[in-house]
Amino acid sequence: MRAWRVERPGAIEDGPIRFEDVQDPEPDAGELLVRVLACGVCRTDLHVAEGDLAPHKVGVVPGHEVVGEVVALGAGDTRGFRVGDRVGIAWLRYTCGRCRYCLRGAENLCPESRYTGWDADGGYAERTTVPAAFAHRLPSGYSDAELAPLLCAGIIGYRALERASLRPGGRLGIYGFGGSAHLAAQVALARGAEVHVMTRDSAAQSLALELGASSAQGAADPPPVALDAAILFAPVGELVLPALEALDRGGVLSIAGIHLSDIPILNYQRHLFQEKEIRSVTANTRDDAREFLAFAAEHHLEVTVHRYHLREADRALSDLAHGRFAGAAVLVP
């Protein structure tokens, strides 16, 4: 089959990934073999390709927003999946199930956790595998390409919104407005929130307003009102300061990214006093995924998708790095 592999992590313009013939994968016990129908292009894939995230597997196939069709089953327990089922593959691929984090419902913090497209080959390929226990059943009413971004951008945005502890009807600020943010904004709006978007891209500002945001301005501009909560999606540490300044007393800033550039020095009085909080987001649990996918089934989300052929993954990552589109990019074979 054909797949993209991270040959030598580095700047995307230097060609760190290569499209080549690789051996077809085989499902291990408890795994599903999946024919890839669509795979979202996530900023985490860019971090893996460029080396912002240290390599976990030499020559890994990126991609962890995978929509596919089950074509074969491994031996043992495959959780009731059948050949022909449409399934989703997300970032979280394995947790131990026995550590103190897993036992308290925080499997996203499991020290033995493993991830699709980082520890194991992902969806920038014609076929891939997934442990059945970590495969997701998908809502109807969406195309394959529309479903793909839900499997990381959507799930992580949902967890980031939960971590922000936004009160009912509260004011939410969103910093950066890409694939994850444009979905999280819709969840917040459906819950009655007032949403204000800060992003440098004019097309993203327009999309935010089209989706129902009350305002859209530059990335570091102050919103027109004090915020009850904010989510930072852009991997830019400098934006932590204006986001904290924009919070009302007792406000929470949730940082959604797996990678963030350095945060400048904070001034306690300006940025943290009056019981403001900063919270990070680390991966997600399977419960997060199930809750979000159930929400997406009940509330149809407008998923802004830009399609690229599988062979164009390098161009899709370059376009993502340079902000050449609003919404989410998806690879289709």
What does the pLDDT look like over 141-150, one tens digit per residue?
A: 999 999 999 9
- Tell me: the pLDDT tens digits for 266-315? 999 999 999 999 999 999 999 999 999 999 999 999 999 999 999 999 99
Span 102-112, pLDDT tens digits: 999 999 999 99
Q: What is the pLDDT of residue 240?
A: 98
Identify the pLDDT of residue 268: 98
pLDDT of residue 48: 98
Whole-number pLDDT of residue 12: 98
Beta strand 305-309 with 328-332 is parallel
pLDDT at 239: 98
Q: In three state form, how does the secondary structure of the chain look?
A: CEEEEECCCCCHHHCCEEEEECCCCCCCCCEEEEEEEEEEECHHHHHHHHCCCCCCCCCCCCCCCEEEEEEEECCCCCCCCCCCCEEEECCEEECCCCCHHHHCCCHHHCCCCEEECCCECCCCECEEEEEHHHEEECCCCCCHHHHHHHHCHHHHHHHHHHHCCCCCCCEEEEECCEHHHHHHHHHHHHCCCEEEEECCCHHHHHHHHHHCCCEEECCCCCCCCCEEEEEECCCCHHHHHHHHHHEEEEEEEEECCCCCCCCCCCCHHHHHCCCCEEEECCCCCHHHHHHHHHHHHHCCCCCCEEEEEHHHHHHHHHHHHCCCCCEEEEEEC
Q: Model confidence over 13-61: pLDDT tens digits?
A: 999 999 999 999 999 999 999 999 999 999 999 999 999 999 999 999 9
Give the separation between CA 186 and CA 17, rounded to whole angstroms. 33
Q: Kindly tell me the sign of the dihedral angle through the C-alpha atoms of 115, 95, 33, 140.
A: negative
CA distance 261 to 188: 26
- Could you give the percent of the chain with pLDDT greater than 90? 100
What's residue 321's pLDDT?
Answer: 97
pLDDT attached to residue 300: 96
pLDDT at 101: 98
**Average pLDDT over every residue of 234-241:** 98
pLDDT for 69-92, tens place per residue?
A: 999 999 999 999 999 999 999 999
Mean pLDDT for 216-241 is 98
Per-residue pLDDT band at 214 (split at 50, 70, 90):
very high
pLDDT in tens, 4-14: 999 999 999 99
Strand-pair partners of 194 = 171
The reported pLDDT for the residue numbered 216 is: 98
Supply 169's token pair. 């009807």
Q: Across the strands, what pairs with 67? A: 38, 88
Mean pLDDT of the residues in the chain: 98
pLDDT at position 28 is: 98
Mean pLDDT, range 181-201, rounded to an integer: 98
